[in-house]
Chain A
Amino acid sequence: MSTFNPIEYDDLIYRHRQSSDLLWSLKNWHDPLVDNKEQSIKSKKLINKTTQVSSIITPVHYETLPRNSEQIKSDVLNSLALKYTLETLGNDTNANEQAKSIIQEMSHRLNIRTARFLAFIFSKIFNQVYENIYIDRNGIDCLYKLYCLTPNNKLPNIPASPITISSTLFAILNTFSRSSSSPDSNLLATPLSSPLTTKHYITSPRIIYLPTHRSYMDFIILTYLCFEYNIPLPCIAAAQDFLGLGLLANLLRHCGAFFIRRSFRSDLLYWTIFDEYVKTHLIHGDYPLEFFIEGARSRTLKTLLPVRQGMLKSCLECYFRRQVDNLILIPISINYEKVLEDNLHANELLGIPKPKESKSGLFKSIQILKKSFGTMIVKFSDPIYVYDAYELFKKQQENKLNSRCDSFNRSIPRGVQPRFTCQPDGFNELELNFVDQLSYRIVHEQQRLTAIYPITVVAFSFLSSFTVMPRSRSVSLEQLFADKETLFIEHNDIVEYYSTNCQIFWPSNNDKNNLKQRLLSLYSDVFDISGNNHLKLKITGDNLVDASLLMKLIMYRNTCLHLFAKPAYILLACQVNSQASISYQQLKTYYHFFIHLFAYEFVYDQCPVDNIDDQYFDRYLTYWINKNYIFHIDESTFKINSNFLQQISLITSPFEQYARAYLLIYEQGNNLTETSLSVSTKVYQKNLLTKLDSQNIINILASSSNVISNALRTLNSSNASKTLSEIRHILTKIFQPVSIHLRAKL
């Protein structure tokens, strides 16, 4: 883990404060994929003719790229896949109309003029709200390389584009005519001929951006970036609930957002249109795609399971059918020091309903913009090339799959499947496994890029060691620094697997005053300072308000828990028997038990399956032994070192709290009769909220809708193959004695 170093980043805010937002938003923007050669009248005719007749082989001709949204729509409507589906559905005019309205509702209307407008608005907002927006320069360079542009290796802090009135006028003119030329003096990247790829238009890169999703801002930031850096603006898959935003939804639409329903697996017509709509973007490569693989904003600020596999599958199918030669996936981690809607998130978790997306809500939220939200860090992971990933995966699977070969249960080879139809079951087992593995890899890459802010350390310090938090809980700044060392510096090795790209955002030279000011100004609703430099919480006395305050702390702590999860399970298991020793085998059993228990809570690099034998177990164990946190009693039994109890409990406390919260939930009795998860979650939450105690962290955790639903999903998941009573039994066995022990100690 390294300390955040602004030198490696471009600071957009700094840049923009140096120049006019208006001129910036009107700057010359040019799509690098399009030949900027002037086309003669004659050749324009040629294009029209070509598109008309060559549709036998390729539906769209390269000269017409990038298409505008109307063309994309009509391409989808005229696609063979849709035609085929309509025929399957009986070919009635009704379905035809339906298809038209679906595509109308779904389609984006990306155009550069609105993008400029929004760029202007948001540069105003961002300059207001954020202190810094740091953009990973390596990531941008990498993108430039993909687009065969020269990376702009500029020194930081130099305003990128010296914008003059004349260049702006020129740009305005250009806005209205598609053919743009005369590259802006030094901002516009010039095409770079890569050493071997002599003609980059053999294929333009098919890029899919996969950002984390923590805030509404995520929708804007990437488009904003692409505009800033003159790379093609992405088309963003958004959920249909946003349509409630009215005007803003339309603005988003004009910036490339397209809206899809939440679930439509059974609706063949919708599925076909969606599938075709996604694919047409990739196949023609005129726009990159962007979607959130977690499927929803993570209210808990934790990484969610990669559930957006339908979208990923549609994308990958283009590759499996070789309609594209490769796909480039770029996981992106967007880290907020303070999430715009953290209050809303905390309330929502405690069952206070999410306000419906509406204009009035939007209006209210404008006052948010008066506050400061600190820093935003956008980091790009190294691109995942699907070709390489799949070849590697196939090689790994070769050995495993050889044994079973059922010639009566064939899957239709890709080479024989028709390419034009939309086949939900076209994937064979190998490909499905690959999609699964890949989606976990994507969230894992995102996790590796996490940036840790001081608030996370503060949350850790406040919430550690206590199941019940006294009202007067305060933490000294010295304690913060010590905890930071313990958590993020000392255990660098153990979290290294996750954290090679993790960075901690911390004031230079451990400047205490700086840190104090920062915390107080950003989180003025949470902290207060008491004498002798102790931070304390702003407790109001209102049960629900205090709970939501703590919930916020829990959320910010969540941002880094994936780093510790697996190693901490070992400590947790040892700690259970702090008096007695524990055998290797038992330790391992507990370790795997926790992995399964938290399969939905903490996302690992792969989905836990039955009979897992986690490869890292021994590594983690050896590490803790070397650290002296655990010592050998004899060959195969271990005991925890009580000298380090404080550090250990700092690390394990979050997981212990989660485990106990699970136990609490499981103790709620057996009203598992409800089939729908969301309904039973609500029932549980209602029950638990009645007993809400704003000082009891476990109590608050257990009242969180997210934790409840995860706990219930663990029960329902078949691969855990454990019943409620079993889990309850083990959890009780682990925690009840200790809690008695701990309480005695307190």
Chain B
Amino acid sequence: MSTEGKGETTTTAATTTSPTIPLHRQELLKWQGWGYRDSRFFINSNGLIEFSGSRYLLSGHVLPRLKDWMFNKLNSSIDNYSPCVQEPNPDFIADPILNNEFISDFQSTLGTTIQYSVDKNDRLFHGHGHTLEEIWKLRHGGKFDRLPDWVVWPKQHSDVEKIVRLATKHDICLIPFGGGTSVTWALICPTNEKRMIVSVDTSQMNKILYLDEKNLTARIQSGIIGQDLERELGKKGYCTGHEPDSMEFSSLGGWVATRASGMKKNVYGNIEDLVVHVTMVTAKGTIEKSCLGPRQSVGPDIHHFIMGSEGTLGIVTEVTMKIRPLPACKKYGSIVFPDFECGVACLREIARLRSAPASIRLLDNEQFLFGQALATDNKGMLHSLVDNIKKLYITKIKGFDINRMCAATLLFEGTTNEVNQREKFVYDIAQKYNGIPAGEENGLKGYTLTFMIAYLRDIGLDYRIVAESFETSVPWDRVIDLCRNVKKRIITECEKHGVKYPPFSSCRVTQTYDAGACIYFYFVMNYNDICPGSDPVHIYELVEQAAREEVLANGGSLSHHHGIGKIRTKWIKQAVSDLGVGTMVSIKQYLDPNNIFGSKNLIPES
């Protein structure tokens, strides 16, 4: 059954890299969950939760309080174990729709240089992203309505051009695939697509073509994933500074296609600030600017419809990006605030003075307490004594209420001098808002938590707990109202839909801007004992929808950096007006009249 192209790996890149992601993703990555196969939370022989592997700070550590938190706060129990299936069920995977003319044409012209596959698992693993619904389906064997029929792995820009040319000729539907970390159903194949669907996996286009040290830019192939990019640049003493939370797995092309945002945008900027030049292959050919000038007034910026096109217009193949010398000094920090309002006010003040560190995040009380539950236990007696004294100081002497407290985590980057100055400045502001510095270690732990969150969902699912996150951006004056209202809405909706146990509904402010902030919500729900017959994923979706409606009603945006995909198309008219959508449609019409890039993202089906 499995016929596999035997492309020779001949191309030698300008900079030899050792790409993290193998051709067959499943060799390294979990097929049914997040991240590396060797890294996961599990309940060890002592009945405590432990994180396996050796890749992360937490790897090999036991988290003694986590289980209690899970079982007490979420009312979950060890008996409600719902493991996922061991292997995807091959019966669930329908036979591919094959366009024989295309296949013979492809094999005769490109078959020797471009690898391809019709393997069931390859197809399955290119047909989903990481929303709860998709992971849920995978854990139950992988029953998707429609999957890509083929997967191809181009290695360079010209390969993509050839593939798109063939696809146009034979009317094939192409869906670009980068890191596969979409959380918007962007990778799900439209069920009503009758043509052959080819998933174009860019993971082998992972080279840095050249560094331009005079201009501090780099020309990079779009398939490179974040961690490889930073590592390779790091070897030469540079970095891009673009670090989205998914940077271990997400790709440059994906960032461009979804208007990604990085944690350290305060210093380096978001993707739209970092991109100097983009090359995209559309159904009509390659589109790009002919100049590397830093800012241009030549009509509407074509980069701005390439960025955020979510694979509906073409495939981004190469990007010229700004790079920066590696910072001399990198320092974490943290502040505790008596309550969320104080924290937000402090962040607002820091943003007002434009003195934000590379990253500043404010966790709300729920997340703050959750963070406490993630403490590892390899500390001595003295350490816990110190901890207790600190706690006493904050709650008794400073008068903080443990049920209102919240914390901010900080990351400073720059020269040692800059970092020290900035740090002092930020802590001085914080003091005005009753903030108390809480040490570097807590800051570091906070940022590690970022990479753990996605792994945590998998162990939650093992114990009948579903979880998801979503984000928005909102003007400063609405931040507090939005956070409170959305958190409340989640709780009320759960109540309405018969969820028996209190959900974990929490948020954090993850980015500050001059005129607003980005807010990230976490929603965790235990679906034990819901009304018989109702589907937890469906309930979950209804709650998420209501939460999104609430976000919009509160003046929040439809998305800050996740994108629209197919999960949010129904609100896009409301978000950008009918005429706005019409404009997008007409761009699509011009560049791709035959809907070759037929992922159906972004634009609602009328």
Instruction: For the A-B complex with A42-B398, A199-B403, A405-B578 known, give 18 more contacts whose Cβ atoms are closer than 8 Å.
Output: A49-B434, A50-B338, A53-B345, A56-B348, A57-B341, A57-B345, A62-B339, A195-B502, A196-B495, A196-B501, A203-B484, A203-B485, A322-B481, A322-B555, A323-B481, A325-B484, A415-B555, A419-B555
- Chain A: CB-nearest residue to B575: A415
- Chain A: CB-nearest residue to B352: A56
Provide the bound-state CA to CA distance between A199 and B502, in Å. Answer: 11
* Choice from B342, B495, B579 contacting A54 with Cβ under 8 Å: B342
Partner-contacting stretch, out of B125-133, B471-479, B531-539:
B471-479
Decide yes or no whether B553 CB sits under 8 A from chain A.
Answer: yes
Top 4 closest pairs, chain A to chain B, by CB? A43-B399, A415-B555, A325-B485, A54-B345
**B342, A50: Cβ atoms closer than 8 Å:** yes
Decide yes or no whether A690 CB sits under 8 A from chain B.
Answer: no
**A56, B555: Cβ atoms closer than 8 Å:** no
**A196, B345: Cβ atoms closer than 8 Å:** no
- Chain B: CB-nearest residue to A283: B481
Decide yes or no whether B410 CB sits under 8 A from chain A.
Answer: no
Decide yes or no whether B433 CB sits under 8 A from chain A.
Answer: yes
Provide the bound-state CA to CA distance between A322 and B554, in Å. Answer: 5
Contact A202 B484, CB 8 Å, known A39-B399, A43-B399: yes
Give me the interface of A with B, judged by CB distance under 8 Å: 39-40, 42-43, 46, 49-50, 53-54, 56-58, 61-62, 195-199, 202-203, 322-323, 325-326, 405, 407, 414-415, 419-420
Decide yes or no whether B491 CB sits under 8 A from chain A.
Answer: yes
**B555, A414: Cβ atoms closer than 8 Å:** yes
**A197, B491: Cβ atoms closer than 8 Å:** yes
A431 vs chain B, min Cβ distance (A): 12
Decide yes or no whether B503 CB sits under 8 A from chain A.
Answer: yes
Would you list 29 pairs from A and B whose C-beta atoms are within 8 A, ordered by A residue? A40-B399, A42-B397, A42-B398, A46-B338, A46-B399, A49-B434, A50-B342, A50-B433, A53-B433, A54-B341, A57-B348, A57-B479, A58-B341, A195-B495, A196-B494, A196-B495, A202-B491, A322-B553, A322-B555, A323-B481, A325-B485, A326-B488, A405-B578, A407-B577, A407-B579, A414-B553, A415-B555, A415-B556, A419-B478
Contact A54 B433, CB 8 Å, known A202-B487, A414-B555, A415-B555: yes
Decide yes or no whether B407 CB sits under 8 A from chain A.
Answer: no
B73 vs chain A, min Cβ distance (A): 9
User: B395-415 CB contact bits vs A (8 Å, 1 = yes)?
Assistant: 001110001000000000000
* Choice from A54, A62, A198, A407 contacting B502 with Cβ under 8 Å: A198
Main secondary structure of the interface of A (DSSP, over half): loop
Contact A322 B349, CB 8 Å, known A57-B341, A195-B502, A415-B552: no
Contact A196 B502, CB 8 Å, known A53-B433, A322-B553: yes
Provide the bound-state CA to CA distance between A683 and B434, in Å. Answer: 68
**B488, A203: Cβ atoms closer than 8 Å:** yes
* Choice from B341, B500, B579 contacting A62 with Cβ under 8 Å: B341
- Chain A: CB-nearest residue to B397: A42
- Chain A: CB-nearest residue to B433: A53
A105 vs chain B, min Cβ distance (A): 30
- Chain B: CB-nearest residue to A385: B492
* Choice from A42, A196, A202, A407 contacting B503 with Cβ under 8 Å: A196
B32 vs chain A, min Cβ distance (A): 30
Contact A53 B432, CB 8 Å, known A58-B480, A61-B341, A196-B494: yes
Provide the bound-state CA to CA distance between A56 and B429, in Å. Answer: 14
Provide the bound-state CA to CA distance between A491 and B550, in Å. Answer: 45
**B479, A196: Cβ atoms closer than 8 Å:** no
**B348, A202: Cβ atoms closer than 8 Å:** no
User: Using a CB-CB cutoff of 8 Å, which residues 471-528 of chain B contact chain A?
Assistant: 476-482, 484-485, 487-489, 491, 494-495, 499-503
Contacts of B552 in A (CB 8 A): 415
**B555, A57: Cβ atoms closer than 8 Å:** no
> Counting chain A CB atoms within 10 Å of each CB, which of B399, B494, B550 scores highest?
B399
> Counting chain A CB atoms within 10 Å of each CB, which of B434, B479, B499, B500 scores highest?
B434
**A46, B434: Cβ atoms closer than 8 Å:** yes
- Chain A: CB-nearest residue to B489: A325
How many of chain B's residues touch chain A, expressed as a range? Answer: 35 or more
- Chain A: CB-nearest residue to B500: A195
Provide the bound-state CA to CA distance between A203 and B340, in Å. Answer: 14
Decide yes or no whether B459 CB sits under 8 A from chain A.
Answer: no
Decide yes or no whether B188 CB sits under 8 A from chain A.
Answer: no
Decide yes or no whether B344 CB sits under 8 A from chain A.
Answer: yes
User: Using a CB-CB cutoff of 8 Å, which residues 327-375 of chain B contact chain A?
Assistant: 338-339, 341-342, 344-345, 348-349, 352
Provide the bound-state CA to CA distance between A196 and B345, in Å. Answer: 29
Provide the bound-state CA to CA distance between A354 and B552, in Å. Answer: 51
Provide the bound-state CA to CA distance between A40 and B399, in Å. Answer: 7
Provide the bound-state CA to CA distance between A199 and B397, in Å. Answer: 24
Contacts of B577 in A (CB 8 A): 407
Provide the bound-state CA to CA distance between A420 and B503, in Å. Answer: 33
B24 vs chain A, min Cβ distance (A): 44
**A56, B349: Cβ atoms closer than 8 Å:** yes
Contacts of A56 in B (CB 8 A): 345, 348-349, 352
Contact A57 B491, CB 8 Å, known A42-B398, A322-B554, A419-B478: no
Contact A57 B477, CB 8 Å, known A42-B397, A42-B399, A322-B554: yes
Provide the bound-state CA to CA distance between A43 and B489, in Å. Answer: 31
Provide the bound-state CA to CA distance between A62 and B578, in Å. Answer: 41
**A50, B434: Cβ atoms closer than 8 Å:** yes
Contacts of A325 in B (CB 8 A): 481, 484-485, 488-489
Contacts of A323 in B (CB 8 A): 481
Provide the bound-state CA to CA distance between A206 and B476, in Å. Answer: 23
A490 vs chain B, min Cβ distance (A): 40
Provide the bound-state CA to CA distance between A212 and B501, in Å. Answer: 39
A119 vs chain B, min Cβ distance (A): 33
Contacts of B478 in A (CB 8 A): 322, 419
Contacts of A50 in B (CB 8 A): 338, 341-342, 433-434
Contacts of A196 in B (CB 8 A): 491, 494-495, 499, 501-503
Provide the bound-state CA to CA distance between A202 and B503, in Å. Answer: 14
Contacts of A202 in B (CB 8 A): 484, 487-488, 491
- Chain A: CB-nearest residue to B482: A322
- Chain B: CB-nearest residue to A420: B477
Contacts of A53 in B (CB 8 A): 345, 432-433
Contacts of B348 in A (CB 8 A): 56-57
B298 vs chain A, min Cβ distance (A): 29
User: Using a CB-CB cutoff of 8 Å, which residues 561-601 of chain B contact chain A?
Assistant: 577-579
B515 vs chain A, min Cβ distance (A): 13
Provide the bound-state CA to CA distance between A60 and B556, in Å. Answer: 22
Provide the bound-state CA to CA distance between A99 and B562, in Å. Answer: 47
Provide the bound-state CA to CA distance between A419 and B478, in Å. Answer: 9
Contacts of B485 in A (CB 8 A): 203, 322, 325
- Chain B: CB-nearest residue to A413: B574
User: Using a CB-CB cutoff of 8 Å, which residues 133-167 of chain B contact chain A?
Assistant: none
Contacts of B479 in A (CB 8 A): 57
User: Using a CB-CB cutoff of 8 Å, which residues 91-140 of chain B contact chain A?
Assistant: none
B10 vs chain A, min Cβ distance (A): 54
Provide the bound-state CA to CA distance between A163 and B387, in Å. Answer: 48
- Chain B: CB-nearest residue to A194: B495
- Chain B: CB-nearest residue to A80: B477
Contacts of A46 in B (CB 8 A): 338, 398-399, 434
Contacts of A415 in B (CB 8 A): 552, 555-556
Provide the bound-state CA to CA distance between A46 and B434, in Å. Answer: 7
- Chain B: CB-nearest residue to A391: B549
Provide the bound-state CA to CA distance between A202 and B403, in Å. Answer: 11
Contacts of A420 in B (CB 8 A): 477
Contacts of B398 in A (CB 8 A): 42, 46
> Counting chain B CB atoms within 10 Å of each CB, which of A42, A49, A54, A405 scores highest?
A54
Provide the bound-state CA to CA distance between A50 and B501, in Å. Answer: 34
Contacts of A198 in B (CB 8 A): 491, 502
User: Using a CB-CB cutoff of 8 Å, which residues 192-224 of chain B contact chain A?
Assistant: none
Contacts of B502 in A (CB 8 A): 195-198
User: Using a CB-CB cutoff of 8 Å, which residues 428-485 of chain B contact chain A?
Assistant: 432-434, 476-482, 484-485
